[in-house]
A = this chain, B = another copy of it.
Amino acid sequence: MGIRAAVAGASGYAGGEILRVLAGHPDFEVGTVTAGSNAGTELGAHQPHLLSLADRVLAPTTPDALAGHDVVFLALPHGQSGPLAADLPADVLVVDCGADFRLGDAADWEKFYGSPHAGTWPYGLPELPGRRDVLRDARRIAVPGCYPTAVSLALFPAFAAGIVEPDVVVVAASGTSGAGRAAKPHLLGSEVMGSVSAYGVGGVHRHTPEMTQNLAAVAGRPVRVSFTPTLAPMSRGILATCVVPVRPGVTAAALRAVYADACDGEPFLHLLPEGRWPATAMTLGANTALLQVALDETAGRVVVVCAIDNLAKGTGGGAVQCANLALGLPETAGLTTIGVSP
């Protein structure tokens, strides 16, 4: 019999993706699925692609409904994980895909989210230096945001190797599923198809302090991040273009070696061969982060491009990867590196 997993927020995109991964996982068994306003309806009404789970009825998101599981995945609007997690037993693994417990700095939280800080949980990005040791002991894990996943994976090797200056410019394109399932006019298909648009410009996106925190931890000093998200006409995928001043004397070969080393042995971090560039479709449904690097000597900058599936590696796949680690399973169990393409 498998490890019993509950998913809170199962009618949203993040919850659906966690369930999609769990349904193909050899070790987990899907237990209770919950929702907020959709409680009482069938999962299949919201996630028709989850055929084998379609007739499950969504329970309300309460501690009682989530009791009796080995692991609870939370895929809730920010602000809801804190109170809920407080009522879950300490020995149950809780993996939170929300923002509540990602930031170490309460002031950052309050500035960007405008509410009291709930606390800080072990940060669930296993590829970052030293993370796996922390996650193996964890019973509370904060899964990174989708943009910080892409940007942190893109830049931690350069900062760890000390080959760049701490002054980052990131422009990232995201598919619309990153904005969630709440029906808003600007997310209608009629609006987003055939259109790329900017939003959250000027350092105001809530994922910015998370990137800064992660990169500063690797660099061992403060890092400035100018982050601009854009919305692209696709359901899934993030392509993050990260531009950083290169330190004097760093060659293209040295840059490449840094990234080859960082990817070596990492199951989900993949440096493409020279001459090939990441496309988000290569990662569709996969837990892969695809990287490629270039040195622009004229502009004095390193450019790192990272493609992920925002819902997979950026949310649901990343969450299961963390759960695998915390529960002593193979880190790659139930996760694929192969995207559905074309």
Contact = CB atoms under 8 A, between A and B. Distances in A.
Interface residues of A, number: 91
Contact of A292 (B54, B188, B201, B299): B201
Interface string A291-310: 01011111111010101000
Nearest to A180: B190
Contacts of A49: 281-284, 286, 338-341
Contacts of A16: 341-342
A177 interface: yes
A151 to B, nearest CB: 13
B340 A197 contact: no
B234 A277 contact: no
A185 B183 contact: yes
A29 to B, nearest CB: 15
30 contacts: A24-B336, A44-B276, A47-B341, A48-B272, A48-B282, A49-B283, A51-B337, A169-B243, A176-B189, A181-B185, A181-B188, A187-B189, A189-B189, A189-B191, A189-B192, A190-B342, A191-B342, A193-B233, A194-B194, A194-B237, A195-B281, A195-B282, A198-B239, A198-B278, A199-B277, A201-B292, A203-B299, A228-B305, A235-B281, A236-B342
